[in-house]
Copies of this chain bind each other. A is one copy, B any other.
Amino acid sequence: MTKPVVALKSVVIRFAGDSGDGMQLTGDRFTMDTASLGNDLSTLPNFPAEIRAPQGTLPGVSSFQLHFADHHVLTAGDAPDVLVAMNPAALKANIKELPKGAMLIVDKDEFTTRNLQKVGYETNPLEDGSLDGYSIHAIPLTSLTVGALAEVEISKKDAERSKNMFALGLLTWMYHRPTESTIKFLEAKFGKKPDILKANLLAYNAGWNYGETTEDFANTYEIAPAKMPAGKYKNISGNQALAHGLIAGAQQSGLQLFLGSYPITPASDILHELSKHKKFNVITFQAEDEIAAVGAALGASYGGALGVTTTSGPGIALKSEMIGLAVMLELPLIIIDVQRGGPSTGLPTKTEQADLLQVMFGRNGECPAVVIAASQPSDCFAMSLEAIRIATTYRVPVFYLSDGYIANGSEPWKIPNVSELPDLKVEFARTQENFLPYDRDPKTLARPWAIPGTKGLEHRIGGIEKADKTGAISYEPKNHDFMVRTRQAKIDNVEVPDLHVDDPTGDANVLFLGWGSTFGPIASAVEVLRSNGEKVAQAHLKYINPFPKNLGDVLNKYPKVITPEMNLGQLALLLRAKYLKDIISYNQVRGLPFSTAELVEAAMGVING
């Protein structure tokens, strides 16, 4: 390294290009290399619903944002410090979020008249002065890449396709990222296509060298590792962490993990991940539809497996009748809803948290179920364990909410030791006389888990109302009332940890109360507010049904409670109904996480208002 090194505390980089430009892969690789350096980080992929929308158009733009730092990182960042734009569409779609002064790297070759017209640029922004104020690096990325690959026997098209590796190489150089793991990755990926492998490696190298040798870039940057609690870390997406948590929890419970699923964005990756782990006694069953998926999971739970089903909002709508049966059968079942933009097909690749009321109430009759929600990618591991604990202890369906932001976003996750994992051992009912399938444990109100194959426990159950204790069909009015209230009491009675409130001075007036993936943005806003001298408390709900027992007291303590949600106020509705507290909602439904800035502004409005 010959160029001067500038030390930074944190950087936000956004890679943006065509859907076919490999921006997700580029971002992923840069993230992995960054994680291996010990920075803390957070990512935000953002891509269209089409597999590959038409080249060079605005709807076809795919981007990946990464925030990494020498300290604890809470969000993927409001605005990039560096934007890599592979074509005019990528520039146009992203430039409004780029603050003046930021670095802009573009592929000059793509700024042809035709491409500019496609996205409605009348003049070339690289030349018309409209980008003044940015630190622009207009590089002929395509032609440099093609040039670097002259010696390789591949088509021009294939050569051009490697330009993302050129960009990656350049950024790798600029931020002093290690190259080994990306080289290994490419070798594994293209092992069977030596020419393509060679092309990618050459392009990667060429990008690195471009930074090092040309005068285009004056500095390189270094970001020191973040201080994180001791341990081994792995960069992990929410979907991965969730899947690993399920596997770990199933192992701890001694149960076979049975996933019944039907593919749907953004939940499919959990199916993909779990289907790789048959050796951990995981069975994955891709069903014909969502109803069959949850039905099969319930059937497996009935048989003594840990039945799990994964989906997104539209799938939950379809599963609701079968979940009603699960409520009646009182069997463990985990229903994972990775929320996306709705209603209907909505914005399938974007994030949202508008399924809360659906999972609370979207079933016929009084049909209560547990609802929990993960707050960030790494938290998904722990919440999977919690889902298993609750489902198996109480024999109830547990809705476990994630969303597109958590699912696809990633951050470092501290790999736990097996010895740290909770004991989730499960006891099935044993052979006995006069077995009563609906006799309850007085503490948990759980009924016995009596699986086929156990002599003497033969019994019949179903969705019709059942007599207390015997479980036989009963149309008796009083029994129905009793059973309805008992099923409700069982959920109300589930033990969940108290809500932790972060209020350093103890005398804040305003409480930020969130749930789900708003954790990062809220925490980040709280940091800013506090550094501005404001007193704000923060608390985050991971248990929504039942609520933590101390929630009422917490709400009482703070005169003003703001609840930001990526919906029109669904948690607020539940809080208002239960606690008659005038929650102040801050809502947006844009398919994107909140920015720190808007939450700071919202809070200031409340503080001053």
Mark A residues whose CB is within 8 Å of B.
48-49, 59, 312-314, 316-318, 320-321, 324-325, 327-328, 339, 341-350, 352, 354-355, 357-358, 360-367, 462-465, 473, 475, 477-478, 480-481, 484-485, 487-488, 567-568, 573-574, 576-578, 580-582, 588-592
Contact (Cβ within 8 A) A591 B480: yes
Residue of A464, A573, A589, A592 most packed against chain B (CB within 10 A): A589
Q: Which residues of chain B are near A578, meaning CB under 8 Å?
A: 576
The reply to whether A363 and B358 form a contact with Cβ atoms under 8 Å apart is yes
**Across-interface contacts of A581 in B (CB, < 8 A):** 580
Inter-subunit contact B357/A317 (CB<8 Å): no
Asked if A365 and B350 sit within 8 Å, CB to CB, the answer is no
Q: Give the docked Cα–Cα distance between A364 and B462 (Å).
A: 27
A364 touches B313 (CB 8 A): yes
* CB <8 Å contact, A465 and B346: yes
Q: Contact check: which of B361, B480, B576, B582 meets A360 at CB < 8 Å?
A: B361
Most buried by B among A48, A59, A344, A352: A344
Task: Looking at the assembled complex, report how far the CB atom of A344 sits from the nearest CB atom of chain B, in whole angstroms.
Answer: 3
Which single member of B314, B321, B568 contacts A488 (CB below 8 Å)?
A: B568
Most-contacted residue by chain B among A343, A347, A581 (CB, 10 A): A343
Q: A362-B317, A365-B342 are in contact. Are A590 and B347 (CB under 8 A)?
A: no
Residue numbers in B under 8 Å from A324 (CB-CB) = 314, 317, 342-344
How distant is the Cα of A58 from the Cα of B367 in the complex, in angstroms?
A: 28
Residues of B with C-beta under 8 A to A462: 345
9 nearest CB pairs, A to B: A342-B365, A313-B364, A362-B362, A343-B365, A344-B463, A343-B367, A477-B590, A345-B463, A357-B361
Write the nearest CB–CB distance from A518 to chain B, whole angstroms.
16
Contacts of A589 in B (CB 8 A): 366, 480-481, 484-485
CB distance from A338 to the nearest CB of B (A): 11
Q: From B312, B361, B480, B576, give the contact of A358 (CB < 8 A).
A: B361
A363: chain B residues within 8 A (beta carbon): 317, 342-343, 358, 362
Residues of B within 8 A of A591 (CB): 475, 477, 480
- What chain B residues lie within 8 Å of A568 (beta carbons)? 366, 484-485, 488
A163 to chain B: closest CB distance in Å?
25
Out of B59, B358, B463, B478, name the residue touching A362 (CB < 8 Å). Answer: B358
For A325, the chain B residues whose CB sits under 8 A away are 344-345
A317 contacts which of B313, B347, B364, B481 (Cβ < 8 Å)?
A: B364
